Amino acid sequence: MESNYLNVVDVEATCWEGANPPGQPNEIIEIGVCVLDLGTRERVGRHSILVRPEHSQVSEFCTRLTTLTPEQVAGGITFAEACALLRAEFRADSRPWASWGDYDRKQFQAQCTGTGTAYPFGSRHTNAKRVFSEARAARRRFGMADALRVAGLPLEGTHHRGGDDAWNIAALIADMLDKELWPG
């Protein structure tokens, strides 16, 4: 019998210090996926998918924030290929998924609509940031790094790298599962 898995997803997108340059939308440049076994609370997979932007450039600000260079993402796959990979490798269309906040879900929806790409995920999405904050009756929403501190968990890897952030978010979800704070 297969365990119940959750895909924890974190994206990095092209970004600028100020407003977007004319004609340059935010585009996903990295999709981090951490597969979490909901039964054992074990993080069983840590993945980083680099995505080549088609209508925007990786700015110096974006590189400082994410460590991703224009050359690195130029070697990535297309957004459509990344969405197909999420469905094929991670069963994204049938497996529940979570992200820290709604940015990731909304970015996928907008980019899928804008490119005519099939949305790769099913309808079972959980906003882990909301769950974490509500479980603590907090008046504010915690950023991921703050949430790790509050939970007493280490930040592993590089913050603002999709694979590392997905790994850390999965640790927060596992901690919430252990404390019976994660919705069933």
Judge whether 107 and 83 are in contact, CB under 8 Å.
Answer: no
pLDDT at residue 139, as a whole number? 85
CA pair distance 62, 25, nearest whole angstrom = 13
Q: Which residues is 118 bridged to in the sheet?
A: none
User: 90 in a domain, yes or no?
Assistant: yes
Residue 42 lies in a domain: yes
Assess if residue 184 is contained within a domain. Answer: no
Q: Are 82 and 110 in contact (CB under 8 A)?
A: no
Residue 75 exposed, middle or buried by CB count within 10 Å (0-12, 13-18, 19+): exposed
What pLDDT, on the 0 to 100 scale, is given for residue 3? 58
183 domain residue, yes or no: no
pLDDT band per the 50, 70, 90 thresholds, residue 45: confident
Residue 27 belongs to domain spanning: 5-178
- Alpha-carbon span 53 to 25, nearest angstrom: 10
pTM of the model: 0.96
Task: Place 118 in a pLDDT band, splitting at 50, 70 and 90.
Answer: very high
Mean pLDDT for 99-124 is 97
59-107 pLDDT, tens per residue? 999 999 999 999 999 999 999 999 999 999 999 999 999 999 999 999 9
**In-domain check, residue 152:** yes
- pLDDT tens digits, 136-157: 888 889 999 999 999 999 999 9
**Measured CA angle at 39 (ends 36, 44), to 5 deg:** 30
Q: How large is the average pLDDT for residues 151-177?
A: 98
Residue 34 has pLDDT above 80, yes or no: yes
The CA distance from 55 to 5, in Å, is: 34
Does residue 59 sit within a domain?
yes
Residue 153 lies in a domain: yes
Calculate Rg over the CA atoms of the chain: 16
Position 28: which residue type? Answer: I
Residue 45 lies in a domain: yes
Query: Percent of the chain, pLDDT > 70?
Result: 98
pLDDT band at 1 (very low <50, low <70, confident <90, very high): very low
CATH number at residue 84: 3.30.420.10
CA distance 102 to 99: 7
For residue 138, the model assigns a pLDDT of 81
As a whole number, mean pLDDT of residues 102-130 equals 97
Indicate if the alpha-carbon torsion angle 96, 97, 103, 107 is positive or negative.
negative
d(CA 126, CA 167): 16
Say what the pLDDT of residue 111 is: 98
Cα dihedral across residues 146, 147, 149, 150: positive or negative: positive
Average pLDDT, the chain: 96
Domain tally for the chain? 1
